[in-house]
């Protein structure tokens, strides 16, 4: 292990030891499966752009990826259609509203503003080039697996739990169709979007996704170029603007790195040209972000002086 990673491992352990005593927050309760995950689970992982891995405690526990899946489908559509096409159809602006807001659509003539809120994510799914729903789904699942360098699978239990509680998203999909902003059959796109949120990752696999983004789109563990280098800044910009829901601005202020959270308790942060940190802990704040995850990653990134807005880099 390099000297840098020896220091990092110590800092990560300190961060985890401090965070695991934090009892604030609670699991997402609106999806039955998520409510049943043991709330004390806490994991932290780092994957470098050279493929080195550091993993602590529950970093091998499989959790529902939820909204973090949005950045992976975003990457797939960027590869298939290019940045200009995606930008014209979905946009790249924070909504300033909750991730499932209908009002945000209405205020902008039905155009979703970012691929990282539910409306934009479903529109992005509908842009995946496919002849039918199952082909679209298989492309997304395969891309998740390639990014994670692992055989990612759908949890039938999570998917069933979500498909039976996604009435609001189905309504958004139909609203998108009514404004000409859905590019496949709308309820099929909603179904595939719900599936992509229901796959299972552990923190090491999630950090590998992030390390691929940190490494110019080349997976450091498999050596495969999965996303063109010119598409990476678009993904990281979206993460910086909208990655932590309503607290994305606070995250940029405190951490200064692109991040993406999910209500399953996962939290990913990309350190360009260095690697990625992935945290897992299901206790969430009121906005849907892992409380312990935020605490751990803030501790590590500040201790390591990893901040894109700082002129001093260690």
Choose the weakest-confidence range: 3-7, 22-26, 178-182. 3-7
Distance CA 141, CA 305 (A): 35
pLDDT category at 114 given cuts 50, 70, 90 is: confident
DSSP code for 218: B
Q: Are 139 and 76 in contact (CB under 8 A)?
A: yes
Give tens-digit pLDDT for 123-164.
999 999 999 999 999 999 999 999 999 999 999 999 999 999
Give pLDDT, residue 301.
98
Q: Judge whether residue 313 has pLDDT over 60.
A: no
Give percent of the chain with pLDDT exceeding 90.
86
Give pLDDT, residue 201.
98
Token reading at 87? 């930008």
Name the nearest CA neighbour of 62 among 166, 231, 200: 200
Give pLDDT, residue 5.
82
> pLDDT: is 110 or 180 the higher one?
180
Give pLDDT, residue 98.
61
The helix or strand, by DSSP H or E, that contains position 56, with its residue range, turns out to be strand 53-57
Give pLDDT, residue 91.
75
Block residue for tokens 């979905």: 90
Q: Are 56 and 12 in contact (CB under 8 A)?
A: yes
Contact residues for 121 (Cβ-Cβ < 8 A; gap 6+): 67, 70, 73, 115, 193
Give tens-digit pLDDT for 241-297.
999 988 999 999 999 999 999 999 999 999 999 999 999 999 999 999 999 999 999
pLDDT category at 314 given cuts 50, 70, 90 is: very low
Mean per-residue pLDDT for 219-246? 97
Give tens-digit pLDDT for 69-93.
999 999 999 999 999 999 999 977 7
Give pLDDT, residue 247.
94
Q: What is the mean pLDDT of the chain?
A: 93
Distance CA 123, CA 138 (A): 17
Give tens-digit pLDDT for 170-207.
999 999 999 999 999 999 999 999 999 999 999 999 99
Give pLDDT, residue 273.
98
Contact residues for 13 (Cβ-Cβ < 8 A; gap 6+): 56
Give tens-digit pLDDT for 41-79.
999 999 999 999 999 999 999 999 999 999 999 999 999
Distance CA 232, CA 244 (A): 18
């Amino acid at each position: 292990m390099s000297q840098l990673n020896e220091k990092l491992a110590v800092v990560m352990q300190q961060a985890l030891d401090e965070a695991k005593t934090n009892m604030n927050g609670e699991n997402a309760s609106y999806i039955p499966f998520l409510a049943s995950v043991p709330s004390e689970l806490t994991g932290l992982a780092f994957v470098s752009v050279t493929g080195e891995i550091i993993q602590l405690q529950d970093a091998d526990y499989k959790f529902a990826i939820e909204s973090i899946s949005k950045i992976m489908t975003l990457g797939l559509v960027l590869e298939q259609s290019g940045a200009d096409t995606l930008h014209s159809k979905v946009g790249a602006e924070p909504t300033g509203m909750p991730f499932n807001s209908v009002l945000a659509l209405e205020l902008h003539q039905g155009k979703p503003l970012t691929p990282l809120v539910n409306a934009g994510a479903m529109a992005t799914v509908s842009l995946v080039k496919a002849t039918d729903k199952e082909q679209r789904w298989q492309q997304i699942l395969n891309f998740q697996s390639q990014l994670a360098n692992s055989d990612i699978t759908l949890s039938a239990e999570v998917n069933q739990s979500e498909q039976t509680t996604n009435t609001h998203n189905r309504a958004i999909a139909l609203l998108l169709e009514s404004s000409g902003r859905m590019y496949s059959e709308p309820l099929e796109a909603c179904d595939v979007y719900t599936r992509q949120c229901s796959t299972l990752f552990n923190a090491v696999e999630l950090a590998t996704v992030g390390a691929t983004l940190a490494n110019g789109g080349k997976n450091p563990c498999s050596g495969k170029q999965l996303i063109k280098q010119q598409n990476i800044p678009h993904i990281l910009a979206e993460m910086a603007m909208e990655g932590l829901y309503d607290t994305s601005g606070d995250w940029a202020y405190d951490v200064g790195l692109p991040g993406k959270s999910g209500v399953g308790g996962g939290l990913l942060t990309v350190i360009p040209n260095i690697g990625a940190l992935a945290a897992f802990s299901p206790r969430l704040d009121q906005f849907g972000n892992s409380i312990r995850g935020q605490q751990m990653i803030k501790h590590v990134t500040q201790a390591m002086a990893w901040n894109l807005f700082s002129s001093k880099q260690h």
